[in-house]
Amino acid sequence: MKAIVIDQYGTAEELHETEMEIPEIAADEVLVEVAATSVNPIDWKARLGMLKKMFAWTFPVVLGWDLAGTIVEVGKDVTSFKIGDQVFARPDIDAKGKRGTYAEFAAVKEDKLALKPQEISFEEAAAIPLAGLTAWQVIVDRLKVKKGEKVLIQAGAGGVGIFAIQIAKYLGAYVATTASPRNNKLLRSLGVDEIIDYHTTSIKATLSDYDAVFDTVDQIDEGLSILKPSGRLVTIAGQPTEEQGSRTQSVSSWWLQPNGEELSLLGKLVAQGKVKVIIDSTFALTASGLQAAHKRSESHHAQGKIIIKNTK
């Protein structure tokens, strides 16, 4: 099969096309023919070698951790999915670095899969798993945002921020976010109550008595400064220090746990139009397509998700 790989850590130019064996699936896995995947900041961080301490990968490495496509093979213990099902997932990160989604086929464990709602395209579905599940797990499971609470979601126009805003609004929260002014129209259309231009204004100067902060930019002290004494902060971009952890507020970091059931719930909200998928740009599943997509993600200014389409 065709795959886009790196043979060493480095710049986006390391991404190149090669032929690889189609992954062999285990009894609890399915093989998916990839119709679309997406690029997340973890992809270029991994490409640069920033995850070396977490994963002892051997080259060539296939990056990519979002997928939408069609099941072409099922393992013998798989009970909830069959050949021909259209699915989407955030697959597990492979210990050897061989099973990313920048490839024509990818293996996924059954418990990480969700059926793709018919109402949404493969490209929209590929936008949801990593960013959407992260937003869901922080807003719903960790911060436990409730109706009427005041929530700050940092970097509202980013892949995670756009999902987090819509989930918090769906739960009935009052939502503030940070963004560049060119994103104001989009953010208002998603229901944001207050937008702070982080280039000119600090959140501390504008917000106070907040119940919850979703930190996606590693500004934990700033987030803590606007929280009530009983407030909660979850970061996906940094590690709280001992001092930050000793405050009256609850402070923790979170790393996404792929979960097919939660993904299915999120997919239903998208199918019902309660959560919108915002696509920044779409590139082809080719070396040049992925190089351009990585550069776009590394700009730190994508508006929503960067999609990779397998045009065959």
Ligand X SMILES: NC(=O)c1ccc[n+]([C@@H]2O[C@H](COP(=O)([O-])OP(=O)(O)OC[C@H]3O[C@@H](n4cnc5c(N)ncnc54)[C@H](OP(=O)(O)O)[C@@H]3O)[C@@H](O)[C@H]2O)c1
Residues found near ligand X in the complex (CB under 6 A):
40-42, 130-131, 134, 154-155, 157-161, 178-180, 183, 198, 216-217, 236-237, 254-256, 297, 300-303
* Whole-angstrom distance, CA of residue 35 vs CA of residue 102: 10
Instruction: Select the residue whose beta carbon is closest to ligand X and give its number.
Output: 158
CB closer to ligand X out of 25 and 153: 153
76 class by beta-carbon count within 10 Å (0-12 exposed, 13-18 middle, 19+ buried): exposed
Q: Coil, strand or helix: which one is 257?
A: coil
Tokens 């018919």, located at residue: 118
* Whole-angstrom distance, CA of residue 295 vs CA of residue 301: 11
CB of 186 to ligand X, least distance (A): 9
Who's near 243: CB < 8 A, 6+ residues apart? Answer: none
CB of 250 to ligand X, least distance (A): 17
CB of 97 to ligand X, least distance (A): 18
CB closer to ligand X out of 20 and 42: 42
Q: Coil, strand or helix: which one is 127?
A: helix
CB closer to ligand X out of 8 and 257: 257
* Whole-angstrom distance, CA of residue 289 vs CA of residue 86: 24
CB closer to ligand X out of 78 and 138: 138
Q: Tell which phi-psi region holds residue 245, choosing left (phi > 0), alpha (psi between -120 and 50) or beta.
A: alpha
* Whole-angstrom distance, CA of residue 161 vs CA of residue 148: 19
CB of 131 to ligand X, least distance (A): 5
CB closer to ligand X out of 15 and 130: 130
Structure tokens at 35: 């119709």
CB of 227 to ligand X, least distance (A): 17
CB of 87 to ligand X, least distance (A): 21
Cα within 13 Å of Cα(204), Cβ side: 7
DSSP state of 112: G
CB closer to ligand X out of 27 and 205: 205
